[in-house]
Structure 1
């Protein structure tokens, strides 16, 4: 009677435990994937959905709370067609003359800002409307290299996914335009007691003139410095022409 030989089963191979650096690499890789996935998802969502609040609004609320001030946050989203073309031209004239021509970055303005800062003059940023929008909606305030790198990343994303018209719409609805005042509609009501769609050229220039320091400057009863900015903005607005997004 034939006997079957017992076959020896091969011992299961054990995977070597991961080292600390291996675990760290895996964690960082997964974290990177999550960051790209969430960031792209948010940019796609905000292409269609109004931005309800920004990190700056939260920061200002915390600051006011710690300083014992009341919680003041005036913000109302309105579509771009309900924002005066005068204000759209005013922010282009004041903040980013090449908004419709660049792809998110004005390297000429950045070089001028760098040269001016190196000479010890008043600190300038050289940021475009696209960069300011990316910073206001997705990031915190500050001048660190990490934040600037993330700002560049989000700027590329919104330029690719949103386009100029949506960038302008989000910008004019989210930017700080006074102490606790965010967006064109709230600013128009606070400063001129009217809707954003009814702003005159001078009123639009008045709001655009305070954007570098909206909590320091006033759009009405302005200082001589702000009045000079208004007049300069008005002059440049005549050269902007029609905005074709």
Structure 2
């Protein structure tokens, strides 16, 4: 098919992308991607002290550094927002606005061709769970969320097939949870500085309890609401199923009725 050449050397490295029409679009670059320059190359020869931001390909984050005021390289941004927009957000928005797929939750995991290590979350449609993965920093697809909560809100919303949040199936058989399930992993608040209210399952107390999530990292025992936690770790595990309680009440009444007959 026809090859369309797009020149955007400041944002993307040289990669080939398949479009919905099956044609190859080559994103060519004669220069190094600005987000891939190392900090060692960019302080510059001058002696001024200016706070700037650069994209660290090892951590996958935009970080602060002191710029000398001249020279250096293009991995140099005046604000954190500018750095993240260029090296983290732009490629994701490019994919999201150029895809005809209106169901990103069904797309496969896509780290992309760049070499960053950005912690993100995607919806695994094979087991109906949001999982974390490391995003390279460019391209990929729209099944790419900044937080576990964002992924769960988009792909595990009420009314979505297979979730049935807020409803109770009285004919559902209890399923036994294995120890490898996310519900049995210890609470992990993550490694950032935020303070978001989340819920995790406590297997010792057999309850979903709130905890303070830092905003990144952590594990899958992390739910945006108590309802999500109960659905995954209590209702699925058959710990406090409503139909079991009803069966117990029915058995008790039957016992009392038989006892009266004996009298």
Whether TM-score is above 0.5 comes out as no
Task: State the TM-score, normalizing by the size of structure 2.
Answer: 0.22
Structure number with higher strand proportion: 2
Determine which structure has greater relative contact order: mean sequence separation of CA pairs < 8 Å that are 6+ residues apart, divided by chain length.
Answer: 1
Task: State the TM-score, normalizing by the size of structure 1.
Answer: 0.23
Structure number with higher helix proportion: 1
